[in-house]
Homo-oligomer: A and B are copies of this chain.
Amino acid sequence: MNSEFTIAVHSLVFLAYLPEHMASSDVIAKNVSTNPARIRKVMSCLRKGGFVKTKEGIGGGYILNGDPQEITLAQIYRTVACGTIKPHWCTGDPEQNCMISSNLQSVMDDIFNEADLYFEQYLNRITLSFVLERIKQNK
């Protein structure tokens, strides 16, 4: 699983939590405990997905674009980390005569792709607001 998904969720939940729904990559990076360039990379992706708006220049940063009660983790997953359940390693060898060796990988691909859809269905029930509430409960 892609850790950028976690960073994306963290950044958006953080923006939802802030009164102004806005922060710079520097501030977000400190909260997430990583560097600003990494945050900007993820946020740039989220901007293309319509989850935030960008404001350059002095006093700029990222502004949450949408209702935290409606943005689901599934949407975020699809945007920044779709298909990352599947391991990179490939099994077997397409050149071998044995059908197990030559064909199993594509069957596993299908299985992982379908698993991805189930995973998204699960994430679809979780909104930014829900995550925020859970955090407040844990407090």
Docked complex Cα distance between A134 and B138 (Å)? 45
Total contacting residues, chain A, CB less than 8 A? 50
Where the two chains meet, the residues of A that have a C-beta atom closer than 8 Å to any C-beta of B are 1-3, 5-7, 9-10, 13-14, 17, 31-33, 73, 85-93, 96, 98-101, 103-104, 106-108, 110-112, 114-115, 118-119, 122-123, 126, 131, 134-136, 138-139
- Smallest CB–CB gap between A23 and chain B, Å? 11
Give Cα A112–Cα B104 distance, bound, in whole angstroms: 27
The one of B1, B111, B135 that contacts A104, using a Cβ cutoff of 8 Å: B135
Q: Tell me the complex Cα distance, A110–B6, Å.
A: 13
Task: Report whether A13 and B104 are in contact in the complex, using a CB–CB cutoff of 8 Å.
Answer: yes
- A85: nearest residue on chain B (CB-CB)? B1
Cα-based distance from A108 to B128 in the complex (angstroms):
12
Expressed in whole angstroms, the Cα–Cα distance for A33 and B118 within the complex equals 30
A57 to chain B, nearest CB (A): 26
Contacts known (A17-B100, A101-B31); A9 close to B108, Cβ less than 8 A? yes
